[in-house]
Amino acid sequence: MGAQVRAFLQQNFSIIGDIRPRYFTNAIDTKTTGGDVVVRYASLLPAGILMRSTVSLSRNHTDVTRVTPAPPELTALGQSVLFGRVEINRTTEVQPRTSSRVNIDLERKNLTVTAHVARYGTFTIRPDLTGNPANDQTFGAKVITDLSVGYRFGSRSVTLSADNILDVMPDRNIDLNTVGGTKPYSEYAPYGQNGRFMCVRLSYAP
């Protein structure tokens, strides 16, 4: 937010301090092209093991086809760009254009084993408002694996699960994007930046 907008809010609305106004606007039109494929399969394996599997592939691309100019009220306050490169980047490039997933469930009597593998394609961030490409960064594709094992006994069940069991992390931010070293990893990574997460869940259904 520009200094003139900040001064306008302070003078007309007596708002001081950390000012972060938000508003809704129909600022852009977008066009998304691509496709999704999902295949499901179930089979009874030896030893009475029921297997259910799902494979999905997705590839999508979004373009911004129209950007509304800033209204004269904002232009008069020095805000000439209503929807700039950072916002366009968040709309078109921050989410990976390609992703694929494989999910396998195995069941035998009271035992359940579930494995989920996801591959996220590359994504790009352009965080600099001024248009300086020095901050632009593209992050590589990653494969994330989740695993869970559950067992039912009567009305109770216990499940041990591990998300991102291989502890895969996003590519590290370049120095310009770490905010003084406080953000080593991108907040836009679709699989998070916390690495492996494990838990035990106990359930009871009378």
| Model pLDDT for residues 18-77, shown as the tens digit of each residue | 666 677 778 899 999 999 999 999 999 998 999 999 999 999 999 999 998 887 877 877
Same domain, 199 and 120: yes
Query: CA-CA distance, 199 to 196, in Å (whole number)?
Result: 10
Q: Is the pLDDT of residue 79 over 80?
A: no
Q: 3-state class of 202 per DSSP? A: strand
What is the value of pTM for the model shown?
0.82
Both 12 and 101 in a single domain? Answer: no
Residues 20 and 43 grouped into a single domain: no
Tokens of residue 154, six digits: 């009567």
Structure tokens at 74: 């904002």
Q: Which domain holds residue 61?
A: 29-67+84-204
Could you give the CA distance from residue 72 to residue 70 in angstroms, rounded to a whole number? 7
Q: Are residues 58 and 141 in the same domain?
A: yes
Do both 159 and 175 map to the same domain? Answer: yes
Which residues, 6 or more positions from 205, have their beta carbon under 8 angstroms from its beta carbon?
A: 155, 156
Which stretch of 22-36, 41-55, 99-113, 145-159 has the lowest confidence by average pLDDT? 22-36
Domain identity same for 33 and 5 = no
Looking at the fold, whether 123 and 141 belong to one and the same domain comes out as yes
